[in-house]
Amino acid sequence: MQEIGDVSDAQLVTSVARYSEVALAEVYRRHGGAVYGLARRLLNSTAEAEDVTQEVFLRLWNSPDRFDPTRGTLRSFLLAQSHARAVDAIRSLNSRRLREAKDARRTANAEYDMQHEVWDLSLAEKVSEALGTLPVEERRAIELAYFEGRTYVEVAELLDQPEGTIKSRIRNGMRRMRAVLVEAGIQGVDA
């Protein structure tokens, strides 16, 4: 007998679209840790990370059609959702205050965090290698944008660079990383 644990992510989302709570629970079991982990990393708050995680899964329940399996894996989709919600929270006034109080320490640790907290099994090593190939200025721009929730305008101010330069660094860095990851055989992030 096949268990629900053997059902593909795409099939689970189809079942979620049919209001299967069991299917949603299985999606949560597979990807909840990643969704929560990313939110907690950005927000540095378990309570806020729990709020984000709840919101991500409730959105999947209410709008499963937003997931398009032709555009990426379910894990990637959920992480994008988690990141966007976390960034929204960071940019809210209360989270801004909280973040500013922790800015110095987090900024100082950003490089360490990037290399050592992205640990998901063998992927972590590949990601670390890909990061290592980036010029430091591209890497720094991506760090501040992704893990600090900064806009590219803010990154430009922080690094005292023209906005156009930061836009290019982020885009080129992302392209470079993708090329390295693809070469390493990583096409997408899955459970």
Question: What part of residues 93-152 is at the interface with other proteins (CB under 8 A)?
Answer: 114, 117-120, 123, 126-127, 130, 142, 145-147, 149-152
Write each residue from 159 to 178 as x if it is in contact with other proteins (CB under 8 A), else as -, in one continuous string.
-----x-xxx-xxxxxx-xx
Q: Looking only at residues 42 through 81 of this chain, which bind other proteins when binding is defined by CB under 8 A?
A: 46, 50, 53-54, 57-58, 61-73, 75-76, 79-80
Q: Which residue in the block uniquely carries the two structure tokens 């990643």?
A: 34
Which CB atom, from 65 or from 100, has the smaller least distance to other proteins?
Answer: 65
Q: DSSP character for 92?
A: S
DSSP strand E in the chain: where?
none
CB of 145 to other proteins, least distance (A): 4
CB of 65 to other proteins, least distance (A): 4
Using the rule CB under 8 A, which residue among 23, 43, 89, 134 binds other proteins?
23
Counting contacts by CB under 8 A, is residue 13 touching other proteins? yes
For 92, list phi and psi in degrees, rounded to 5.
-75, 160
Could you tell me if 130 and 181 are in contact, meaning their C-beta atoms sit under 8 angstroms apart? yes
Which CB atom, from 140 or from 177, has the smaller least distance to other proteins?
Answer: 177
Which CB atom, from 47 or from 104, has the smaller least distance to other proteins?
Answer: 47
Q: Which residue in the block uniquely carries the two structure tokens 């806020």?
A: 48
- What proportions of the chain, in percent to the nearest 5, are helix, strand and coil? 80, 0, 20
Could you tell me if 79 and 35 are in contact, meaning their C-beta atoms sit under 8 angstroms apart? yes
Would you state the structure tokens that stand for residue 91, as one six-digit string? 């940019």
